[in-house]
Chain A
Amino acid sequence: MIRNYLPFVRQQYFEIPTGTRDYARIPIFSTGGGAKVILDDFSVWQAVPSITDSPLLMRIGVMGYKYFTEDFQAVQAYSNGHRPLCSRWNFPKPYRMYPGQKLRTQITRMQVGSPIDYPIGIMFNGIREKDQRPIILYDTDEEAKASQAVSALNDMTLATPHDSSILLYGVTVSQWSGDVLNRTGVGVQIWGPDDRQWIETAVYDGAPAQIGLRVIGPPTNVMQLGEQNGWVLDPKQTFTVEIINTNAGTEGVYLTLRGVVEVEE
């Protein structure tokens, strides 16, 4: 049996209602399937900018082991990871693709304001197993389009070569942005060879436009999980999060969990 590691991203948006100490239990990220699940990282992103002082408080756990702490801590205190300098995601384990297989991707321009149109592209880094030569799978749309426009990137340059399987190590998304903090990203969707959707990214009308960046390049808040920290779960287990909103108003938050599922082929 050959093991393969299927990348996945679970993303969820929810609103914690108005109230100083209300909390919402978030149902959760059931990863499902496969032999085991390696969680890579997790991030929390506030949806609507506010100028209030009070933070979101959070605790985490694994369903079946209860929450790790009784009390809640500021979400920022969980941010033990570092944001990469570009929108990339290096998979915790390489993903193997076979000859004849091909990826499909779709990118939605999310930036609002000026500039509202820019070329975009996606690239997967890998290596050919037959001769260990590097290979990239990529596609671009160089046509300038308006905000919210969708590009389906399905060129044959996203296909595996005919003579060798390949191992993919990571994915990057290009985004040209006038935002000096580079927080405005693109909406990204990726489908594997079996049309399984890796990145379940909904595009929310009217929501701030960082959703794609949150997926491919984690935002400025990222919690590093990883196999080295014991984040190898049984597929039946579930990563659980509970958040208290101490602000006076409703807070919308995006939660993003990334990892790989180990499967046998």
Chain B
Amino acid sequence: MSVELVPRWLWQEVTIPQSGEIIIDPSNFANTTAYPMVLSWLSICGKVATAGAPYDDAAGGVVRRLNVEVGLTGYSDINLVPMVGTAFFCGKRFRQKDLGNASATTVVSADLEIPRALRIPRDGGLVVSCQNIHDPDDDVSLISPSIVAQGYHDDSKIPGVLAGRHTETITSATGPQLFNSSDLLNRGREDFIITSITVTDRAVRAAGEGIEIIPQLTSAAWRINPVTGVEWMPQPDPIPTGCLSPFTRLYDVYDEGPKVYEFPKNVVLQPRQRLGIKLTEQSAAAQTVYICLRGELEVE
């Protein structure tokens, strides 16, 4: 019996009241499959608290104002790791990515950080949808949002690409947009092995006379699933880019950005087990954050 590791992303948007605490609905972080789920990391991002604040504003900092506690349900409420957010979630590993000028920050790229290659059978492919999750009153549009999955064909070792782009600008008032699938399908005669998946997001918005940075990669949200087999993102709503790509800095200056906590090796969420997460807001302002769990199902 061979075991295939299938990626799994689970997430939730949560608003924490000022100086309050909240226990996230554990049903959103439950292993509802029949397979053990090896936990990779927990990522968190959100919008800078002060509306319109630049990224280096002292009011910014989604994670640094939080206490976070995590546990596996079934033992006790919170038993795994309690810590303040700043120390709990690590900083960036990699430098920013863009094309090197101001316009590039309207289309930035983010890696999904796939620890191991993913197999797409020859009659398979990807189903991708993207949503603009910005406030409708912001002038932020997603321009040519794109996804590129690079890899190679398994037998011939010829390189290849599965890719998709929404040809129209996605405004913030619209729901998830399903991508044209023609280039997202493996039309070859052999399995396709994906070694990397990269998506785009938007990093700036024009505000008044200046340009403001959106440091948390919270302009776009993505839902990426294989055509066949076990779903990677089972929840109906797309997941913010910052949660999917927490390791790359958006901007090489300052510390703001999505954060991530990597679980120790072999932390497993068994079938029907759930992850408990408690967030405590330490400042006198409520904030909305996106929190995302990534793991790998050991599918037999």
B131-154 residues at the A interface, CB under 8 angstroms: 143-148, 150-153
Q: Does A230 lie within 8 Å of B153, measured CB to CB? A: yes
A45: contacting residue among B100, B161, B198, CB under 8 A: B100
Cα A55 to Cα B106 in complex, Å, equals 8
Q: Does B143 lie within 8 Å of A69, measured CB to CB? A: no
B183 contacts chain A at the CB level, 8 A cutoff: yes
Q: With a CB–CB cut-off of 8 A, which chain B residues contact A219?
A: 100
B126 contacts chain A at the CB level, 8 A cutoff: no
B170 contacts chain A at the CB level, 8 A cutoff: no
Known A46-B104, A49-B103: A74·B165 in contact at CB below 8 Å: yes
Q: Does B150 lie within 8 Å of A80, measured CB to CB? A: yes
Q: Does A69 lie within 8 Å of B109, measured CB to CB? A: no
Cα A223 to Cα B196 in complex, Å, equals 10
Q: Does B99 lie within 8 Å of A221, measured CB to CB? A: yes
What is the 8 Å Cβ interface bit string for chain A, positions 48-66, against chain B (1 contact, 0 not)?
Answer: 1111111111011010010
Q: Does A221 lie within 8 Å of B95, measured CB to CB? A: no
A64-89 residues at the B interface, CB under 8 angstroms: 65, 68-80, 82-83, 85
Q: Does B165 lie within 8 Å of A76, measured CB to CB? A: no
B101 contacts chain A at the CB level, 8 A cutoff: yes
B98 contacts chain A at the CB level, 8 A cutoff: yes
Known A57-B165, A73-B163, A77-B200: A83·B94 in contact at CB below 8 Å: yes
B48 contacts chain A at the CB level, 8 A cutoff: no
Q: With a CB–CB cut-off of 8 A, which chain B residues contact A59?
A: 161, 163
Known A79-B97, A80-B150: A71·B183 in contact at CB below 8 Å: yes
A220 contacts chain B at the CB level, 8 A cutoff: yes
A192-228 residues at the B interface, CB under 8 angstroms: 210, 219-225, 228
B50 contacts chain A at the CB level, 8 A cutoff: no
Q: Does B101 lie within 8 Å of A48, measured CB to CB? A: yes
Q: Does B111 lie within 8 Å of A51, measured CB to CB? A: no
Known A70-B183, A71-B165, A180-B253: A230·B198 in contact at CB below 8 Å: no
Q: How many residues of A contact B (CB 8 A)?
A: 52
B43 contacts chain A at the CB level, 8 A cutoff: no
Q: Nearest chain A CB to B50's CB is how many angstroms away?
A: 24
A104 contacts chain B at the CB level, 8 A cutoff: no
B58 contacts chain A at the CB level, 8 A cutoff: no
Q: Does B97 lie within 8 Å of A68, measured CB to CB? A: no
Q: With a CB–CB cut-off of 8 A, which chain B residues contact A232?
A: 157
Known A48-B101, A77-B198, A230-B159: A181·B252 in contact at CB below 8 Å: yes
Most interface-central of A59, A77, A225 (chain B CB within 10 A) = A77
Most interface-central of A59, A69, A83 (chain B CB within 10 A) = A69
Cα A84 to Cα B145 in complex, Å, equals 26
Q: Does B163 lie within 8 Å of A77, measured CB to CB? A: yes
Q: With a CB–CB cut-off of 8 A, which chain B residues contact A222?
A: 97
Q: With a CB–CB cut-off of 8 A, which chain A residues contact B159?
A: 62, 68, 225, 229-231
In the complex, 30 of the A-B residue pairs with CB atoms within 8 angstroms, ordered by the A residue number, are: A46-B100, A50-B102, A55-B103, A55-B143, A55-B200, A60-B161, A68-B159, A68-B160, A69-B162, A69-B163, A70-B182, A72-B165, A73-B144, A73-B146, A73-B147, A73-B164, A73-B165, A74-B165, A74-B200, A76-B107, A77-B198, A77-B200, A78-B109, A80-B148, A82-B93, A82-B97, A83-B94, A210-B100, A220-B97, A230-B159
Q: Which residues of B contact A (CB under 8 A)?
A: 93-104, 106-109, 111, 143-148, 150-153, 157-165, 180, 182-183, 195-200, 211, 248, 252-253
Pick the 7 closest A-B CB pairs, nearest first.
Answer: A230-B152, A49-B101, A77-B146, A76-B109, A73-B146, A80-B196, A230-B159
Q: A76-B200, A80-B111 are in contact. List 11 more A-B contacts (CB 8 A).
A: A54-B143, A55-B106, A55-B107, A70-B183, A73-B146, A76-B99, A77-B148, A79-B97, A180-B252, A220-B99, A221-B104
Q: Which residues of A contact B (CB under 8 A)?
A: 44-46, 48-57, 59-60, 62, 65, 68-80, 82-83, 85, 180-183, 210, 219-225, 228-232, 246-247
